[in-house]
Structure 1
Amino acid sequence: MTGTGSLEELREREYLYRSEVNALRRQIYTGPVAGRSATLLGELARREEELGGLAAQRARAALRLDDELRGPASTGLDVDVQLRMTHVPTAICHLFDPARQPFVSVRVVNAEGDAIRRVRVTSYIEGYSARAVDTVELDCAEEVTIGQFPTLFSDRVRTITEMTAATLNVLVEDLDGRAEFHTTRVLRLLARTTAPLAVIDPSTQLEIDLSRYLGAFVTPNAGEVMSFLRDVAAVHPSRRLEGYQSGMEQVEPQVRAMFTALKQAGINYVNSVITCSPDDGGTRQRVRLPRESLTDRQANCVDATVLMASLLEAMSLSPAIVVVPGHALLAWETWRRSDEWRYLETTEIGSATFEEACNAGELLVRQYREPDEAATDLYRLRRWPLRRLRATGITPME
């Protein structure tokens, strides 16, 4: 899909097309498995690609406009502050590496040609965070860019149940007392129960994929999850859960037992399709923690995926979270570090057999390009093995 126009026209075009794609998502993902034909899934995959092209076109137009409006501030120091996230994912931001995913980037240039400058950069979210501080020494005409992510106060974050406005302060000080730069930016703090699958980087107007951080919502050590393993073992033919200790043929029966136990517990699918808007900071989804899904006896696609992944990880199996545009499903490794995967459509927990749910998952995956854990394209399939997420520091949030 091609076309040009003003930023407002491109936003409107993307919004309307995204609405059409969301309607098709609902038709597919909330309907019966029998209705998910390869033709319909192929049409959705094609439209997702076109939507990605529209999003990229809108991002380029927004970036051009931003470049036209931006100007340097100079007091002997040229300072440029770039907010990298307008919507802060409070549930997972403690896992971010400021070097790779800074919340704010501050570029400082020593504009003087005859003096070395000692500069301190400080940032904090008023009332919600500690201060992030970096001190650098700049030679004549030297430039440095500093990325910071102030540490949020955990007790304050727990009080955020809905999206909340906050103020970021950025202070750049010359330690010799000759110059000072202080600015503020308005941002939004997302609720702790919000899983941000993507955020928009205002400096590039491109979406940053955060879907891997769904791994933080996989909580195998939660008491409710560990207790539910008794119900899983009770429906297993051998009444034992051994992970990969037995033969390869013993892996699938354990996954089947988990699926059966959840059905018997009355876990039902609740319709909640992932949506996003070019103006709201990216893609996000309210997520029940696994213990909450077990208590509430209901789950959407993401809820059910992190619940099942939690149970499989607690059983010493190797699950993966699979994300496609507007949807999530489960994968499990057929043998220890084999990198061979089976897929399960988690929305079928209340209405289909285990075989039907697996067939639906396999059919969906085939409609997208081969999954790639290193992919950055939000409009393709991404598979995030929990064993790899844990190795990169994405740990359970509780």
Structure 2
Amino acid sequence: MNLRRVTCVLALVPVVALAQGGPPPPSSGLDLPRAANLVGMSEAEANAALDKLFADARSPKRDCAALINSRTRLVFTRSKVTKDYVKKNVDGYLWLARCAEKQKYYALMADLSDDLLWADKSLHPELMARALLGLNSPKGALKTLEQAEKLSAKDPDIALTFAKVQCRTRDWAACLKSADKTVKLVTKPGSPEGKETLNRAHKYRARALFHAGKLDEATKAAALSEKLGGDAADLAELRKAMVPAKTYKAVVEVDALAIAPLGIYHLIGKREDSKGLARFYVDDIGEDRQFRVEAGIEGITSTQTKLETMLKGQSVVLDLTPQLLPSFDPTALHSARTVQLNLKVTALSPKGEQVVYQDSKPIELLPRDFYPRASFIDEEKSQAQGENGYLAAWVTPSHKSVEAFLSEAKKRAPRNTFSGEQAATIPQVKAIFDTLQAKGVSYVMDPEVNMATGYGQRARLPADVLATTNAQCLEGAILYATLLEAIGLQSAIVLVPGHAFVAWRTSPKDVLPAPKPRDAGVVLVADAGDADAGAAVDAGAPTSEDGGKPEEELWRTRPGDYQFLETTLTHDAYFNYAANEGLLEFEKYAKARKVTFLSIPELRRQGYTPQPYQ
């Protein structure tokens, strides 16, 4: 037998470990590979490049677009600097950080701030807060600012960054308060730095006043910002928004998702704190009345409507995800399709109805087998944000093809039945493994998909894999997780850098009091640290003649522990060998804290339900 190790390419994304009971699986928040891992550069070369970067950054003719690129971050990840070096180059760090923010290279900006704070915790902590905000962590930004304020309560840069974060999170009252505080704290309003700080402060004041319904004051604040060199285009957008606000006495803003993957469409906006397909922000700056909010995609969804009663001065956030039409078949879409999301807000009063907002936004509808792994959150594309919990939508135990497969597989199970955790789990998993092997299920490479906004992967559902008998590693892990959940076991998908496999929680009945070697079926070592534990293997374990020695294939578990299975070995390995490989794989990456453990039962409790389409 030709046993071989296979790996498949899975993009690395920030992750959250999810497990229920058993040993707590390790977890890490993994970014995409840093530039230092991709390009060779010696420490001496990096230090020389860093000196030149600072020299260019100090130049009045600095070009941020030329200064900031992937190589810039490489310099910082490869260079070695001292605290004295950082302190001598604070101005260079500041200019580079401002350029990084302008170019939306927030990960680089965080690197720069990290150096400054390492040298002296009082060196511009607001830079880290702004980087965290850019990396989509407003809570982290606020926490950083709260700590910084304790060290320097009268720093206008800290107050200004508070305003930036609070405006971004739509805390308009707090934003206005922080912006007003910034104006008072500027000690040199005539200096270039003072003018820039005041410009931004008045911009935030204008936005906060606008959403508070104080349109005349907002107009004056915008004029002050423009006089101080404010972004003309940004301020023009604000003035443009004031026109309907003055007419209808309402402020409406809408955020719509750029993509709508059908594989997770049933989850969009359904989980706590998750955004809908369209999120409406409505501020009533006129009178007490009702607002009707509508969203829909013609020919694809119904038109969803929400009615909201609002008092003057009240603000609401409404999420809408219209239902797919019964006439629309999600399984028939095999490639991306751009559709228009129609949006409308109507004010209702005794005087009648008045449309205060109407627009349409393009959305890319993606096939149900497209798994959106992550979206980029900065222009550098070195940081990505994903939600691996969506994988649970691909775990579809109720599909008719799964039931048909298990009817066949149970013929290999003890007593021709699957009993879940009420019986020993390992013989049941082996029955599934052996049946898949008999059907000829084999491994193929992963089709990863890159997009301008992020990256994803085509991952077919278990029904499709069973029909074609080939699977890439993620599909194989999903298939096993589906089958194990269907027979009543607590399954999990295990993600490690570049690979995926499966795990399940064992039962107390899996531990035999006196295991016998080479017994029929599966017998296991109770614990590697137990001197009395007997050696036991699958009756058909590989020997030295066909690719392995029995004593090398031993694997172990204890009641309630998770056991692992290398699913890519289904085609050409014995069950015990695949189980041992899964365990070794897990232990290898667990030691390096590079494991993401996705417990399917825990994800179900969090609201990640299977795709509803047959």
Q: TM-score range by the shorter chain?
A: 0.7 to 0.9
Match of 1:111 among 285, 302, 305: 285
Is the aligned partner of 1:262 residue 2:477?
A: no
Deviation at 1:165, TM superposition (A): 0.3
CA contact (8 A) 1:77 1:111 kept: yes
Per-residue CA shift, 1:203-235, capped at 9, x if unaligned?
A: xx9865443232232233333322323443344
What CA distance in whole angstroms lies between the structure 2 residues aligned with 1:28 and 1:349? 11
Match of 2:33 among 40, 51, 58: 51
Deviation at 1:291, TM superposition (A): 2.4
Is the aligned partner of 1:78 residue 2:251?
A: yes
CA contact (8 A) 2:395 2:478 kept: yes
What CA distance in whole angstroms lies between the structure 2 residues aligned with 1:327 and 1:136? 47
Residue in 2 that maps onto 1:216: 393
Deviation at 1:272, TM superposition (A): 0.9
What CA distance in whole angstroms lies between the structure 2 residues aligned with 1:284 and 1:238? 42
What CA distance in whole angstroms lies between the structure 2 residues aligned with 1:226 and 1:326? 31
For the pair shown, which has the larger CA radius of gyration, 1 or 2?
2
Residue in 2 that maps onto 1:19: none
Match of 1:185 among 361, 380, 395: 361
Runs (5+) with no aligned partner, structure 2:
10-26, 36-72, 74-104, 109-130, 137-163, 169-230, 509-558
Letter in 2 for 1:155: S
Residue in 1 that maps onto 2:266: 94
Indicate the SS of the match to 1:123. strand
Greater share of residues in helix = 2
Is the aligned partner of 1:194 residue 2:176?
A: no
User: In structure 2, do the counterparts of structure 1 residues 302 and 119 end up closer, same or farther at CA, with 3 Å as the change threshold?
Assistant: same
What CA distance in whole angstroms lies between the structure 2 residues aligned with 1:275 and 1:197? 9
User: In structure 2, do the counterparts of structure 1 residues 207 and 170 end up closer, same or farther at CA, with 3 Å as the change threshold?
Assistant: farther
Letter in 2 for 1:388: E
Per-residue CA shift, 1:39-95, capped at 9, x if unaligned?
A: xxxxxx99954538999638966989xx87764423221111112x21102123123
What CA distance in whole angstroms lies between the structure 2 residues aligned with 1:104 and 1:325? 33
Match of 1:345 among 566, 569, 582: 566
For residues 4-23 of structure 1, the aligned pairs below 5 Å read none
Indicate the SS of the match to 1:165. strand
Indicate the SS of the match to 2:583. helix
Letter in 1 for 2:282: V
Deviation at 1:186, TM superposition (A): 0.8
What CA distance in whole angstroms lies between the structure 1 residues aligned with 2:498 and 2:370? 15
CA contact (8 A) 2:277 2:320 kept: yes
What CA distance in whole angstroms lies between the structure 2 residues aligned with 1:303 and 1:155? 29
Residue in 2 that maps onto 1:165: 338
Residue in 2 that maps onto 1:299: 471
Is the aligned partner of 1:312 residue 2:480?
A: no
Per-residue CA shift, 1:231-272, capped at 9, x if unaligned?
A: 4334446554332223xxx22122122212211211111111
Residue in 1 that maps onto 2:348: 175
Letter in 1 for 2:107: Q
Per-residue CA shift, 1:148-186, capped at 9, x if unaligned?
A: 111122432343221110011111111134552111111
TM-score of the pair, normalised by structure 1: 0.72
Runs (5+) with no aligned partner, structure 1:
1-26, 32-44, 372-378
Indicate the SS of the match to 2:263. coil
CA contact (8 A) 1:220 1:311 kept: yes
User: In structure 2, do the counterparts of structure 1 residues 178 and 155 end up closer, same or farther at CA, with 3 Å as the change threshold?
Assistant: closer
Which stretch of structure 1 is more off in the superposition, 262-271 or 146-155?
Answer: 146-155
TM-score of the pair, normalised by structure 2: 0.49
Match of 2:576 among 341, 355, 358: 355
Is the aligned partner of 1:289 residue 2:461?
A: yes
Letter in 1 for 2:251: D
Residue in 1 that maps onto 2:536: none
Per-residue CA shift, 1:316-336, capped at 9, x if unaligned?
A: 222122334553321101128
Indicate the SS of the match to 1:153. coil
User: In structure 2, do the counterparts of structure 1 residues 313 and 28 end up closer, same or farther at CA, with 3 Å as the change threshold?
Assistant: closer
What CA distance in whole angstroms lies between the structure 1 residues aligned with 2:487 and 2:331? 30
Letter in 2 for 1:109: D
What CA distance in whole angstroms lies between the structure 2 residues aligned with 1:261 and 1:120? 55
Letter in 2 for 1:89: P
Residue in 2 that maps onto 1:332: 504
Match of 2:602 among 370, 377, 388: 388
Deviation at 1:191, TM superposition (A): 0.7
Letter in 1 for 2:336: M
Deviation at 1:197, TM superposition (A): 3.4
Residue in 2 that maps onto 1:17: none
Indicate the SS of the match to 2:318. strand
Indicate the SS of the match to 2:322. coil
What CA distance in whole angstroms lies between the structure 1 residues aligned with 2:484 and 2:325? 32
Per-residue CA shift, 1:301-358, capped at 9, x if unaligned?
A: 122122212222232222122334553321101128x762112122222233323322
User: In structure 2, do the counterparts of structure 1 residues 216 and 50 end up closer, same or farther at CA, with 3 Å as the change threshold?
Assistant: closer
What CA distance in whole angstroms lies between the structure 1 residues aligned with 2:8 and 2:355? 59
Aligned length: 339
Using the aligned pairs only, state the percent identity. 26
User: In structure 2, do the counterparts of structure 1 residues 363 and 119 end up closer, same or farther at CA, with 3 Å as the change threshold?
Assistant: same
Deviation at 1:199, TM superposition (A): 5.0
Indicate the SS of the match to 1:197. strand
User: In structure 2, do the counterparts of structure 1 residues 201 and 356 end up closer, same or farther at CA, with 3 Å as the change threshold?
Assistant: same
Residue in 2 that maps onto 1:228: 405
Indicate the SS of the match to 2:283. strand
